[in-house]
Amino acid sequence: MATDKLIITRRGFGIGLVGGAASLALPLPALALTVEQASALVGKAIADVNTSINSGKSASAMYDDFERIFARYADVPVIARSALGPAARSASPAQLAAFTKAYQRYVSRKYGARFRDFIGGQIEVTGARPVKSYFEVISVAKLRGQAPFDLRWHVSDKSGKNLFFNLIIEGVNMLASERTEIGAMLDKRKGNLDALIADLKNT
């Protein structure tokens, strides 16, 4: 299998990812998706991010690139709904749609801001395996002067397309981290989802 690489640093991904573990309910098995397709999806996402961060573009242009990459390769509605947690059940369809759009921008800028620090190492896709109703694509980040660390991408076709819905970095679960952070932001606004959406748009 071809190796795909992405410039990265440990500090960039470490910020904003807090400990914890979470699982995403995927009641339907990924029948059509294959391990090769899951690996290819992650490889393409890595290649696209690598192109952007090495393009010499401004930070603003890079954020726009990353939002497009996130929208293309990630299952944004599933990730957003997981991040919102129990509040998603009481949200109206219009609120959920607005939150998903605002959250997509928020996450893209949150992680896009850190890609500027990712020069100095590379990510290599090393394998993939089936896990229950999805595939886990395994990759290793190799940094200059530091020990390699593990990144695992969870890929499913539950939404009708091959997309990743979670990223685990050195055992830290992105879904758990985001749910904790968004939950705290919502609590700070006394459960007012509209206020949270408005603030995410301006973040």
pLDDT of residue 108: 87
Instruction: Count the domains in the chain.
Output: 1
pLDDT of residue 5: 47
Rg (CA), the chain: 17
Query: Concatenated DSSP letters for 94-112?
Result: HHHHHHHHHHHHHHHHHHH
Residue for token pair 């959250």: 103
Query: Concatenated DSSP letters for 159-180?
Result: TSS-EEEEEEETTEEHHHHHHH
Question: What phi, psi does 6 have (nearest 5°)?
Answer: -140, 130
* 173-183: pLDDT as tens digits: 889 999 999 99
State pTM to two decimals. 0.80
- For residue 5, being part of any structural domain is answered with no
* 147-172: pLDDT as tens digits: 888 889 999 999 999 999 998 988 88
* Domain that residue 94 falls in: 10-16+26-201
Q: How confident is the model at residue 120 (pLDDT cuts 50, 70, 90)?
A: low
Q: Which of 10-24, 28-42, 68-82 has the lowest mean pLDDT?
A: 10-24
Q: Which of 7-16, 71-80, 88-97, 170-179 has the lowest mean pLDDT?
A: 7-16
Q: What is the CATH number of the domain that holds 127?
A: 3.10.450.710
- For residue 142, being part of any structural domain is answered with yes
